[in-house]
Amino acid sequence: MTGDLSLYARTTTKATMRFQNGKEVVDEEAAARQPREPDTLKTSGVFGPILGTVLVGAIKTHGDLSWSRWEMGPQGPEAVFRYRTTREKNLFFTGSDYVTINDGLAHSKGYEPFHGEFAIDPASGAILRLTLEADLEPRLPLDRSDIMVEYGPQVLGGRTYICPARSVSISRQRVIVDMHGWSEKYKVYAPFETLLNDMVFDKYHLFHPTVRMLPGFRPAPQGR
C-alpha cells in the first residue's frame, strides 16, 4: 500500500437516533442541518442491526464459531469468541466508487463475507464488544471495510440496559481525482485513502407507553 496513512479530523456532526420496529432511524431533519463533506465514510446499522448481523452470521448453517480466549475488560473478565461467515450469507453490505470505461463514476457494492470477534460478560451473557471485518476480493477499489462496536450499561426507567456506547468504522479505498492535460479532463486513480468514523452514543431516553387503570368510574353515555 502507498499513500499517506495519517488521519485528520474532517467534520463533527450530531443527530438523534432511534431504534424502532427493529430498524435504525436517524432524525433526518437534524442531520440535514449539519454540513456535508465530500468523500466521507457513510456507516449505518451500528446502533442496532449489526448485533443481529454478527449473531446470525456466526451461528447460521455453515458458519464458523469457536472459542478464542479470556480477556480482562474494564469490569472484569470477558469471554471472547471468534467467528467467520461464508459468501452465501447476504448480511454485510459494503462498497466504494470506481472509474468506468467512459470516464464516469460508478458504485461498486455488494454483500461480502466477514469475520471477527465478540466479547461476552460471563456473569450476565451480555455482549460487550464486537468486531466485523469484511473479507474482500483482491484488486478492488475497496481494500478494507471494518466495524467495531462497544456496549455498556445504561439506566433507563429504573432498569439497566446494555446499549451501544461507541462505534469505530474504518474503510480504505482508492481515491479518484480529476486530471487535466492535452486539453482534456479525465479521471484517474490516486493512492488509497483511509476513512474513519468514530461515533459516540449518549443521552439515552426510553420511550414506552404508560397505562393507568382507574377503577370505579362510570362509562359516559354514548353520544357524549
Q: 4 in a domain, yes or no?
A: no
Phi–psi pair at 31, nearest 5 degrees? -65, -35
Distances (CA, A) of 186 to 95, 180, 191: 23, 7, 17
Q: 66 in a domain, yes or no?
A: yes
Q: Nearest to residue 55, comparing CAs of 47, 63, 45, 43? A: 63
Q: Nearest to residue 58, comparing CAs of 35, 40, 84, 37? A: 84
Distance, CA of 44 to CA of 46 (rounded, Å): 6
Q: 146 in a domain, yes or no?
A: yes
Q: 97 in a domain, yes or no?
A: yes
* pLDDT, tens digit (0-9, with 9 covering 90-100), for 9-45: 778 888 888 777 777 777 755 555 555 555 678 888 8
Q: Is 86 in contact with 44 (CB distance < 8 Å)?
A: no
Distance, CA of 150 to CA of 74 (rounded, Å): 12
Q: 171 in a domain, yes or no?
A: yes
pLDDT at 118: 95
Q: Which domain holds residue 67?
A: 17-200
Q: 218 in a domain, yes or no?
A: no
* pLDDT, tens digit (0-9, with 9 covering 90-100), for 126-181: 999 999 999 988 888 888 999 999 999 988 888 898 999 999 999 988 877 777 77
Number of domains observed in the structure of the chain: 1
- Which residue(s) pair with 93 in the sheet? 111
Q: 223 in a domain, yes or no?
A: no
Phi–psi pair at 53, nearest 5 degrees? -60, -45
Q: 53 in a domain, yes or no?
A: yes
* pLDDT, tens digit (0-9, with 9 covering 90-100), for 214-223: 777 677 777 6
If pLDDT is split at 50, 70 and 90, which confidence band does 79 have?
very high
Asked if pLDDT for residue 1 goes beyond 50, the answer is no
pTM of the model: 0.78
pLDDT at 35: 53
* pLDDT, tens digit (0-9, with 9 covering 90-100), for 166-218: 999 999 888 777 777 777 777 777 788 888 999 999 988 887 777 777 777 67
Phi–psi pair at 221, nearest 5 degrees? -60, 150
